[in-house]
Amino acid sequence: MTSAPAVFDAYSRYYNLLYRDKDYAGEAAYVHGLLGRHGRGAGDLLELGCGTGKHGRLLAQQGYRVHGIERSEAMVAQAVQGEGFTCQVGDIRTTRMHRTYDAVLSLFHVVSYQTGNEDVQSVFARAGEHVPGGGLFVFDFWYSPAVYAQRPSVRVKRMADEHVEITRIAEPATYPDANRVDVHYTIYARDRASGAVQTLTEVHAMRHFSLPEIDLLAAASGFRRIAAEEFLTGRPPGEDTWGVCVVLRKN
């Protein structure tokens, strides 16, 4: 995921614990299958917004060579590199690797963190520069029909390990004219040894997209859409599909 570095440098302290229940292995297997169905079941991948590298390492275990770009220095510091996975600090809107890959990935709604038109256009342009003709750009995002039909609501998540207990409250503010939801997070982290409590407050601005918007962005950067489905299940997108995954092919 990629946003303002300060936000995610703070968030990174508890990131892996907060998403400990996330099915990274299942998601990596899904992406591997998706790539294979579209002729990229092996090769070199560039991951935009790699976070702490969990998807990238799992895909490397499938035989890919994965390089990630992540804006948060703290997350890159946590990433375990080697055995087919490497990563670096960089802004996915501007970083150029001066080479091409078989496919570009951007997972865990990284594209939705690009809230401005110039931001998202830049990400698509960088993806286009890093794949040859026939190469793929695979990413997931918040889907506008589901956001409008379901309406974001307040959510509370609690996680703990042997060191810390975390309570995270997510309070959304919706801006329909901007296709944006600002998720206001309050995180309470209690040290289990001392009882001390740390409080973090952050705002994650998330943009949602319709398929016509994605198609317009794709065409402007030399891609065409060849697949759109619910992330992980493969079902057709609908009003109950919060996360949609698309596959774009370079012209």
Q: Mean pLDDT across the stretch 39-67?
A: 97
Which of 77-81, 111-115, 193-197 is most confident?
A: 111-115
- Token pair, residue 170, equals 């997510």
pLDDT digits (tens, 9 = 90+) for 129-160: 999 999 999 999 999 999 999 999 999 999 99
pLDDT digits (tens, 9 = 90+) for 79-89: 999 999 999 99
Q: Looking at the structure, tell me whether residues 152 and 39 fall in a common domain.
A: no
Q: Measure the CA–CA gap between 82 and 232, rounded to whole angstroms.
A: 26
CATH code of residue 198 = 2.20.25.110
Q: Is the pLDDT of residue 5 over 70?
A: no
Per-residue pLDDT at 9: 53
178 in any annotated domain: yes
Per-residue pLDDT at 17: 86
Residue matched to tokens 């891609």? 223
Per-residue pLDDT at 16: 79
Q: Measure the CA–CA gap between 217 and 249, rounded to whole angstroms.
A: 13
CATH code of residue 228 = 3.40.50.150
Per-residue pLDDT at 241: 96
Per-residue pLDDT at 11: 64
Q: Is the pLDDT of residue 2 over 50?
A: no
DSSP label at 42?
A: S
Per-residue pLDDT at 10: 55
Q: Looking at the structure, tell me whether residues 176 and 227 fall in a common domain.
A: no
> Residue type for 121, please?
Q
Neighbours of 125 (CB within 10 A): 16
Q: What is the mean pLDDT of the chain?
A: 94
Per-residue pLDDT at 106: 99
pLDDT-based confidence at 104, cuts 50/70/90?
A: very high
Q: Looking at the structure, tell me whether residues 121 and 211 fall in a common domain.
A: yes
Q: Looking at the structure, tell me whether residues 51 and 63 fall in a common domain.
A: yes
211 and 228 Cβ atoms separated by less than 8 Å: yes
* Cβ burial, residue 96 (10 Å; 0-12/13-18/19+): exposed
Per-residue pLDDT at 7: 47
Q: Mean pLDDT across the stretch 66-86?
A: 94
Q: Measure the CA–CA gap between 66 and 53, rounded to whole angstroms.
A: 10
- Token pair, residue 237, equals 């997108």
Q: To the nearest 5 percent, what fractions of the chain are helix, strand and coil? A: 30, 35, 35
Domain boundary among 206, 224, 241: 206
Q: Mean pLDDT across the stretch 181-194?
A: 94
Q: Looking at the structure, tell me whether residues 160 and 231 fall in a common domain.
A: no
Neighbours of 59 (CB within 10 A): 24
Q: Measure the CA–CA gap between 170 and 203, rounded to whole angstroms.
A: 9
Q: Mean pLDDT across the stretch 62-77?
A: 95
Q: Is the pLDDT of residue 6 over 50?
A: no
Domain residue limits at 185: 146-206
Q: Mean pLDDT across the stretch 218-234?
A: 98
Per-residue pLDDT at 18: 86
SS (H, E, C) 106-161: ECCCHHHHCCCHHHHHHHHHHHHHCCCCCCEEEEEEEEHHHHHHHCCCCEEEEEEC
106 in any annotated domain: yes
Q: Measure the CA–CA gap between 204 and 234, rounded to whole angstroms.
A: 27
- Token pair, residue 104, equals 């570009």
Domain count, the chain: 2
